[in-house]
Amino acid sequence: MRKLILGFALAWGVFALLRETTEALVEVDAREEDQASVPYWHLGTPQVKRLDRCLELVRRQVPPGHVVVFASPDDARTGDQHEFFRWRWAAYLLPQYDVAPLQGPDTGRLAEYLITYHRDIENPRLEAMAELPDCRLYRVRKTVP
Amino acid sequence: MIAALALVILAALLVFLGTRVPGLAAPTDGALQRLVIGALAGMVLFHLLATVLDLTGLGWSVLKLGAGLLILLALFLRFGAKTPEGERRRLPSDLGWGDETALLAVVVFSLVALTLWVTTPDFVFHWGLKGHRYFLARGVDYAYLARSWGWAIHPDYPQLLPELYAASALAIGRFDPPLLMLWSAFFFALLLAAAREILRTAEPFVRQAGIALLAVVLAAFAVRHQMAGGADWLPALALIAAIPALSRPPDPAADLQIGVAAAFAAAAKVEGVVLAGLLVLAQLARRPAAGSWFAPGRFFRLGLLPALVILPWGLQVRRYHLFTVLSSGGLSWERAKIAGPAVVDAVNSPGWHGFSWVLLLLPLLALRRRSRPLGFVLAGQLAFYLWIYLVAAFDTEYYVAMSFPRLLFHLVPAMLVGLVPHLTWEPPCRPSTITVEGRMGGSL
């Protein structure tokens, strides 16, 4: 009886592994068509690649070690946290910089550069440096000219 | 290929170093237990070395880390006790279909992990980011962690995993996420090796079915729940590696093994610090096989490594104000009413395929004297997780759903392994284990 229980559990476990692996591999094959929202992004998906292409502006124009503020669209609904997760992905993709959120207690004081992603920001302290269709890079002046 | 080789050499060096730690192996330990506990000891020593280089401001490099590890190895080889020749070859000679299934599960998980599709989001949000940052900074970058927005990367978490990632990047010459997923495969393989050692006295069918079951259950969950690249393997590994020492009367080697497992858990995650405390407490509460209950040597072997891990971590967290205060609202019945159903939902999480319900059998561990210490540790750790849900002033339902299925990963492997011998168990055949059987257990 005890062997039967163990055997049944093992068969169920093998079935579980086969099912999960198959589903994962199907999703890997469809990775290029992935349309998941920000909290469910995976490494290597088109959404991440688009963000990475935008952040290339920073890598080309800003020396490592500086504070770069990342700004993306506000959440459509409270609690979505899409803006938060876009910021975290930007930080992962730019490890050589201190990537700050737009709404932070020290952001205004410490900001040296600003990269916007699908978002427009107007501020007299901003000096445009470079742009791509979806994003713009600015130098942040310490004072208003 | 060369990069993968560099990673393998680093892991092999840590394992080799750890297996040479004097007094760590007990005569009754098989080769797999020596390998597993040695691997943990090697990683703890690596963590301590990285911490010393950090605290002294020397920073990390291949040369400094490599030289430090080799000096430690030379010291152990020179002054450590020699392993008797006959005890070196206790590799399992009874490999069977279960072992092959387990190996296949590790390979399947590794291949899927290499695609990065099952990489945990936490690799992006903090474990991997920290590893990359430390690689660039050649050390733990406390200024980066201490930024006002640093709360998002859990700045107060222990550093072992990011350190391993950074050291791997130093060895490879670049930060290579797919290759870093192999650390998870390594932890998975060690976890199974530890389980195989525990099951060695079970009858052949239970031994083979048990190891295969554990492997497929963990691989299925790891694939579904995206566990590659995360730190939850480490507390699970620490707990299962401690079972052999928890299951026999405390002796000096067992005390040191518990100390190593506790230090490893504490170096991995904040909840690992609690696990470390439970492991040490469970061991300390038992009457030793020989000598005084509270002999200074016991405290030294049990407590030195955990203390060396926890104290510098605590000091740095305090020094840089990194602790992200748990927003505690006190025990609340309202929160309990939300947490209860949420916990049930989390246990029913699809990735577990029902196997996490095995924790309901936890009281069975109290039936046998040798499994009581494990039962105590599992119950304590589970109670700690549930207590956090009852006091944390967050969205309880969301908090439980986001974390509890993953936290179960710390407990389910040890529970499964602890339970399988209850199905059938052959009495241990080694005289040294039998003669002291009547004294094990102590107050637990």
pLDDT one digit per residue (tens) for chain A, 145 residues: 788 989 999 999 999 999 999 999 999 999 999 999 999 999 999 999 999 999 999 999 999 999 999 999 998 888 889 999 999 999 999 999 999 999 988 999 999 999 999 999 999 999 999 999 999 999 999 887 7
With b for 16 or more beta-carbon neighbours within 10 A and e for fewer, the B385-409 pattern comes to bbebbbebeeebbebbeebbbbbbb
User: Which residues fall within 8 angstroms of residue B86, CB to CB, at 6 or more apart?
Assistant: none
What is the full DSSP assignment across A42-83?
Answer: -TTSHHHHHHHHHHHHHHHHS-TT-EEEEE-PPPSSTT--HH
pLDDT truncated to tens, each residue of chain B (444 aa)?
888 999 999 999 999 999 999 999 988 899 999 999 999 999 999 999 999 999 999 999 999 999 999 999 999 999 876 665 555 556 666 789 999 999 999 999 999 999 999 999 999 999 999 999 999 999 999 999 999 999 999 999 999 999 999 999 999 999 999 999 999 999 999 999 999 999 988 889 999 999 999 999 999 999 999 999 999 999 999 999 999 999 999 999 999 999 999 999 999 999 999 999 999 999 999 988 888 888 899 999 999 999 999 999 999 999 999 987 665 667 888 889 999 999 999 999 999 999 999 999 999 999 988 899 999 999 999 999 999 999 888 889 999 999 999 999 999 999 999 987 676 544 544 444 433 333 333 333
Cβ-nearest to B115 among A20, A28, A95: A28
B118 touches chain A (CB under 8 A): yes
Half-sphere exposure of A120 (CA within 13 A, CB side): 2
Q: The tokens of B68 are what?
A: 């430090």
C-alpha A112/C-alpha A128 separation (Å) is 12
Quote the pLDDT of residue A44.
Answer: 94
Hey, what long-range contacts does B254-259 have (CB within 8 A, 24 or more apart)?
B254/B26, B254/B283, B255/B283, B255/B288, B255/B298, B255/B301, B255/B302, B256/B21, B256/B23, B256/B24, B256/B301, B256/B302, B257/B24, B257/B26, B257/B37, B258/B282, B258/B283, B258/B302, B259/B301, B259/B302, B259/B303, B259/B304, B259/B305, B259/B306
Cβ-nearest to A20 among B177, B223, B420: B223
| Interface test with chain B among A5, A17, A52, by most B beta carbons within 10 Å | A17
With b for 16 or more beta-carbon neighbours within 10 A and e for fewer, the B96-114 pattern comes to eebbebbbbbbebbbebbb
Question: What are the DSSP E strand ranges found in B89-238?
Answer: none
Question: What are the DSSP E strand ranges found in B268-317?
Answer: none
User: Which residues fall within 8 angstroms of residue B435, CB to CB, at 6 or more apart?
Assistant: none
User: Which residues fall within 8 angstroms of residue B172, CB to CB, at 6 or more apart?
Assistant: B3, B6, B7, B179
- ipTM for this prediction: 0.95
Quote the pLDDT of residue B384.
Answer: 96
> Which amino acid is it at B32?
L
Assign B331 to helix, strand or coil.
coil
A24 touches chain B (CB under 8 A): yes
Q: Which residues of A touch B212 (CB under 8 A)?
A: 10, 13-14
Assign B148 to helix, strand or coil.
coil
Half-sphere exposure of B152 (CA within 13 A, CB side): 23
C-alpha B309/C-alpha B155 separation (Å) is 16
Quote the pLDDT of residue B82.
Answer: 66
Q: Nearest CA to CA, how far is A95 from chain B (Å)?
A: 6
- Alpha-carbon torsion (B7, B11, B12, B14), positive or negative: positive
Question: What are the DSSP E strand ranges found in B89-185?
Answer: none
Q: Answer yes or no: do A91 and B153 touch at CB < 8 A.
A: yes
Instruction: Output Rg (C-alpha) for chain A, integer angstroms.
Output: 22
Cβ-nearest to B423 among A2, A42, A64: A2
Maximum distance among all Cα pairs of chain A, rounded to whole angstroms: 83
Quote the pLDDT of residue B218.
Answer: 98
Q: The tokens of A133 are what?
A: 């269709």
Number of A/B CB contacts below 8 angstroms equals 114
Contact between B38 and B21 (Cβ < 8 Å): yes
Closest CA relative to residue B396, chosen from B307, B336, B325, B354: B336
A30 touches chain B (CB under 8 A): no
C-alpha A143/C-alpha A124 separation (Å) is 9
Closest CA relative to residue A40, chosen from B231, B411, B150, B120: B120
Q: The tokens of A74 are what?
A: 């506000």
B420 touches chain A (CB under 8 A): yes
* Residue owning tokens 């292409």: A53
A100 touches chain B (CB under 8 A): yes
> Residue B379 — φ and ψ, nearest 5°?
-65, -40
Q: Nearest CA to CA, how far is A6 from chain B (Å)?
A: 7
Contact between B127 and B230 (Cβ < 8 Å): yes
Closest CA relative to residue B138, chosen from B30, B57, B79, B213: B57
Average pLDDT, chain A: 94
Quote the pLDDT of residue B278.
Answer: 98
- Bridge partners of residue B228, in order along the sequence: B119
Quote the pLDDT of residue B363.
Answer: 96
Q: The tokens of B26 are what?
A: 């007990």
Q: Answer yes or no: do A64 and B136 touch at CB < 8 A.
A: yes
Closest CA relative to residue B229, chosen from B157, B164, B275, B273: B164
Contact between B242 and B381 (Cβ < 8 Å): no
* Closest-approach residue (CA) in chain A for B224: A20
Q: Answer yes or no: do B219 and A105 touch at CB < 8 A.
A: no
A89 touches chain B (CB under 8 A): yes
B224 touches chain A (CB under 8 A): yes
Q: Which residues of B touch A98 (CB under 8 A)?
A: 144, 147
C-alpha A17/C-alpha A21 separation (Å) is 6
| Interface test with chain A among B111, B117, B227, B416, by most A beta carbons within 10 Å | B117
Give the H/E segment covering residue A100: strand A98-101
Q: The tokens of B89 are what?
A: 């070859």
| Interface test with chain B among A1, A8, A21, by most B beta carbons within 10 Å | A21
> Residue A114 — φ and ψ, nearest 5°?
-135, 130
* Closest-approach residue (CA) in chain A for B146: A98
> Which amino acid is it at B380?
G
A88 touches chain B (CB under 8 A): yes
Q: Answer yes or no: do B108 and A98 touch at CB < 8 A.
A: no
Closest CA relative to residue B227, chosen from B288, B264, B184: B184
Sheet holding A126-132, edge to edge: A98-101, A67-71, A113-117, A135-140, A126-132
Q: Answer yes or no: do B205 and A6 touch at CB < 8 A.
A: yes
Cβ-nearest to A106 among B101, B124, B148: B148
